[in-house]
Chain A
Amino acid sequence: KQEVTQIPAALSVPEGENLVLNCSFTDSAIYNLQWFRQDPGKGLTSLLLIQSSQREQTSGRLNASLDKSSGRSTLYIAASQPGDSATYLCAVRPGAGTALIFGKGTTLSVSS
């Protein structure tokens, strides 16, 4: 059974720092992996989608990497800002016609 783990559960950093959020999954046979952001009381906003054949995806200050063989993904946030404060969720899709399996998230707080 696929399980997704995110470490750390919470992270506090000062504004301007670069940071890395970690995601690991137990079964390397995934179809794709998606990183989301969730603000308090809100739904999920998709940040990056990495297909199983890809190694990384970039969007602005965000870079997500994928190492299927080791069952790991990282989300790198450059030059963090207070507006980046949110919970970041990692989710894997086991197959083409399956739903996402989520980690419990990392709650990020960026102080000014």
Chain B
Amino acid sequence: GAGVSQSPSNKVTEKGKDVELRCDPISGHTALYWYRQSLGQGLEFLIYFQGNSAPDKSGLPSDRFSAERTGGSVSTLTIQRTQQEDSAVYLCASSFSGGAVEQYFGPGTRLTVT
């Protein structure tokens, strides 16, 4: 079946502009995660949605970052007033639940802020 999909695959934006990144999880997966992978850094957790519960936003680096998940499915990560340090690959993952199951990752969106 279809895996996790993300769009766009690449995004180049000017410093100060807002960007939206989209994630379509695997159908039926209730848990959705956003991570960021910067050059030379490991993957960093950003935000986690589980069903209808309030999201865990503890990994968001600043208030310029926000995310929403509509209808328990598609999620959008928004970065306002982008900075050069926001340049990274943004990865989305989903799983059946937040528990003892594997997370399946999308191909990522490579964001470059010029």
Bound form: Cα–Cα A9–B108 in Å: 22
Q: Are B99 and A104 in contact (CB under 8 A)?
A: no
How many A residues, CB 8 Å from partner?
Answer: 24
Give chain A interface residues in 56-105, CB to chain B under 8 Å.
Answer: 89, 91, 96-105
Q: Check if A10 is an interface residue, CB within 8 A of chain B.
A: no
User: Given A42-B107, A44-B105, A99-B56, A105–B100 Cβ distance below 8 Å?
Assistant: no
Q: Determine which of A34, A43, A89, A96 lies in contact with B99 in the assembled complex, contact meaning CB atoms within 8 Å.
A: A96
Q: Mark B9-31, 1 if CB is under 8 A from A, else 0.
A: 00000000000000000000000
Q: Are B102 and A49 in contact (CB under 8 A)?
A: yes
Q: Are A43 and B106 in contact (CB under 8 A)?
A: yes
Q: Are A103 and B42 in contact (CB under 8 A)?
A: yes
User: Given A42-B107, A105-B42, A99–B48 Cβ distance below 8 Å?
Assistant: yes
Interface of A is mostly: strand
Q: Are B102 and A34 in contact (CB under 8 A)?
A: yes
Which chain B residues have a beta carbon within 8 Å of chain A's beta carbons? 4, 33, 35, 41-45, 48, 50, 56, 59, 91, 93, 98-108
Q: A31-B100, A44-B105 are in contact. List 17 more A-B contacts (CB 8 A).
A: A31-B99, A32-B100, A34-B102, A42-B107, A42-B108, A43-B4, A43-B105, A43-B107, A44-B93, A46-B105, A49-B101, A49-B102, A51-B100, A100-B103, A101-B45, A102-B43, A104-B41
